[in-house]
Amino acid sequence: MRLSRYRSAAVKIGVPREIKSDEYRVALTPAGARELLQRGHEVLVETGAGDGSAFPDVAYEAVGAKIGRSAGVVWLDSELILKVKEPISAEYGLLRYDQILFTYLHLAANAPLTQALAESGAACIAYETVETDARSLPLLAPMSEIAGRLAAQAGAYFLEKPLGGRGLLLGGVPGVAAGNVVVLGGGMVGYNAAVIALGLGANVTILERSIDRMRHLEETLSGRFTLLMSSSLQIEESIVDADVLIGAVLIPGALAPKLLTRQSISRMKNGSVFCDVAIDQGGCSETSHPTTHSEPVYTVEGVTHYCVANMPGAVPVTSTKALTNATLPYIEAVADYGLAEAVARDPALARGVNVLDGKVTYEAVADAHGLEYAPLEDVLPLSPV
C-alpha cells in the first residue's frame, strides 16, 4: 500500500524505542500523540519508548495511543515511522518501500545507511534538512540550542584535573583570570555555546564568516565577547589560547568542513578541551571521531576531545519536549495530506526529503557518496494521485 505517500484519511503512525547507544529521547510526547489522534490518525508506541524521557506507557495510553509490544510490531503496523536518531544496522531490515521515515538522518556522514535506505525504497525525510526559504532549519534548531549549551557545560567539566583537564575553573575567581572559550561558528550552536560560556564567566571569542550574522551576534550579545572573521589563519591563531574550543560549523545536509588538522590541535594547551558539535556531520577536525555518553572523551595531542554524536540525548526530558514542539506541525502535514501534497504545499518540508524510491533526492548527500542525484520533483508527483 502506498497511500501514505499521498492523501490518506487516517494514517498509522509508529514510534519505536530508540536503540542507539545512550539514546534516551523519544520522537513523540504524549501531548503530541494526542494532537495526532484528535486529527483522526492512529498512534502506536513501542513499549518503553518514552521511559528515558519520563513518559511511561500509561501516559500514552491515557491519551488514546496504543502500545506495541515490540519494535517489529511497531514497524510492521505503521505507515509513518517517527524516530529521533537514524536507524542503526539492526533496524535496516524493518523499513519497507511503502513507509515514510521521519527522523534525524545525517546521511552525508553515513554511506552504509544511505545505501540501506535507498535499497528499502522508503520515503526518508531528515529533520536536519527541512529548511525554510529564509535558510532557517526549524527542526534542527531546538537540538542545536541544546547541543550548544551542553558543549559549554562539557568543556567546563572536562577542564577539571581529575578528568584529565588543565585544572582550570572556566569562570575564574576574583584575582584569577577566567578561562578562554573559542567558538568556531556563530550559528545556533555557536550562539548558545557562547551564552552559557559567558554565563559561566569565561572570556569568549566567536569566529564567524557571515558579516550579517556577526552584526546580529553583536547586537544580541551586547558586545560581551570578541567577534572575529573566520579564516584558516585566524583559527590557527585563536585556538592557541583556547582552554575550551567548540566546533559549531554547519553546512546543511553536507559533511562538515575540516577546519582543524592534527597539527593545529597539537598547538593547543595541554589539558584543554575540544567539543566537536559537528560530529554528526563528520566533525570539523581530522582528529574527531564519534563517542558516546558512556565513553564521551579521548585524548589526541594532549587535548581532550568530546565528540558525542547525540549530545541532546543526555537531557531527554528537555530534548524530547523541544523536538516534538518543532516537528509536530510537519508530522501533521504529512499525515493529513500525504507526502506528495505536503511537500507541494511546503518547500521547506520538500527539502527534508533525502531518499525516495531508491533514489537520493538531496544533492549534498549524493555528492558526499558519489551517487547520482535525483531532484525530488523528478521522483515524486507534486499532487495526489
Element housing 101 (H / E):
strand 100-103
Q: What angle do CA 323, 324, 327 make, to 5 degrees?
A: 85
Instruction: Copy the grid coordinates of residue 163.
Output: 578528568
User: If we measure between CA atoms, which residue out of 118, 37, 125 comes closest to residue 82?
Assistant: 125
**Helical residues (DSSP H) of the chain, grouped into ranges:** 30-38, 57-63, 71-77, 111-120, 141-158, 188-199, 211-220, 232-239, 262-266, 316-345, 347-350, 363-369, 376-379
DSSP sequence for 42-80: EEEEETTTTGGGT--HHHHHHHT-EEESSHHHHHHH-SE
Q: What angle do CA 12, 318, 183 make, to 5 degrees?
A: 120
Number of Cβ within 10 Å of residue 382's Cβ equals 12
Q: Is 161 helix (H, G, I), strand (E, B) or coil?
A: helix
* Location of C-alpha cell 496504543: 66
Instruction: Report the DSSP beta bridge partners of residue 88.
Output: none
Burial readout 211-229 (b: 16 or more C-beta within 10 A, e: otherwise): eebbeebeeebeeebebbe
End-to-end CA distance of the chain: 13
Catalogue the active-site residues.
Answer: 106, 280
| C-alpha 350, offset from chain centre | 18
User: If we measure between CA atoms, which residue out of 139, 257, 273 comes closest to residue 202?
Assistant: 273
**Rounded distance, CA 122 to CA 211, Å?**
40
What is the residue type of 132? T
